[in-house]
Amino acid sequence: MKKVWCVLALLLAVAMATPAWSAGEVPAGQMTPPQATATEQGPTPDAGASLAAALSNVVYFPLRFTVTVITAEVGGFTGWMTGGDAAAAHAVWRSTDGQAYIRPEVIEGRERLRFGHWQ
């Protein structure tokens, strides 16, 4: 059991170090890597929108997950009942297209919430 915990700890350490490996080289004489400016990234959401999105996801994500799981089963059943008609199953599965969680941009009104065919 001790070996299993050691292997898991090692894998966790390697996984956490991966972003540092991909950061790239810092040019000579420069202390930090160059950061993208606000115009390159687009406007950043404020703290209120981020907090509202996080609180919204407490309710939205479990409902969205439940709908997705049920729709997956119903779509498979539909495909089976129609003799393997993939188009019928995909018609049901399309109703789960869209965002899995609410982003701050949705709260601010800069982006629309997509849930299946509805926007």
Instruction: Express as a percent the part of the chain with pLDDT over 90.
Output: 28
Residue 75 exposed, middle or buried by CB count within 10 Å (0-12, 13-18, 19+):
buried
DSSP per-residue string spanning 68-113: HHHHHHHHHHHHHHTTS-HHHHHHHHGGG-B-SS--HHHHHTSS--
Write the CA distances from 109 to 5, 23, 91, integer angstroms: 46, 33, 29
This prediction's pTM: 0.55
Domain membership flag for residue 55: yes
Domain membership flag for residue 118: yes
Residue 57: the pLDDT is: 93
Domain membership flag for residue 99: yes
pLDDT digits (tens, 9 = 90+) for 20-49: 545 556 556 666 655 655 555 566 668 888
Domain that holds residue 103: 44-119
Backbone angles phi, psi at 115, to 5 degrees: -135, 95
Per-residue pLDDT of the chain (119 residues; tens, 9 = 90+): 777 777 777 666 666 655 554 555 655 666 665 565 555 556 666 888 899 999 999 999 999 999 899 999 999 999 999 998 889 988 888 888 888 889 999 898 888 888 776 55
Number of domains in the chain: 1
